[in-house]
Amino acid sequence: MRLSLIILFSAVSGGFIGGGIVWVISHGEYEALADQREFIESILYNSEIEISQDNNSCEGKPVKTVGAVVASLLESNSTHKRNTLTYGCYESVCTMSVSNCKPWQESECGSRFLKFNINKQGIIDVSTFSCFDMP
């Protein structure tokens, strides 16, 4: 009986401690890095650039400029308690996206992406801006 109580207490304590750690990590605030700030500033500097018809596959409200796409990403991100906004570059391709998928959902969720290329100097090629939704 005593061994069962020790095991039960250990399991319950471990669950609470683990849950608390996950909650702190997922809801914590972290200091913005300078390169992240520069990344977003460079996107917003080009907010008036129109996205060509061929590169615009975003649905819903019309998003014709880079600024409108960023606004739709931020709007979607603000409707959720968790921060689902992600951005970054891999080699010369950069993306900024937001997902409205919950871990338990298998359907009826999606993501919106703003994609663009940068040159070797790290300058955005404004002709490569594209917006697309993933179901």
Contact 36, 21 (CB under 8 A): no
Q: Would the pTM count as exceeding 0.75?
A: no
Contact 97, 77 (CB under 8 A): no
Cα–Cα distances in Å, from 79 out to 44, 76, 85, 123? 21, 5, 11, 31
Contact 114, 66 (CB under 8 A): yes
Q: What are the tens digits of pLDDT across the range 94-122?
A: 999 988 766 666 666 778 899 999 988 88
Indicate the domain borders of the chain: 1-30, 33-134
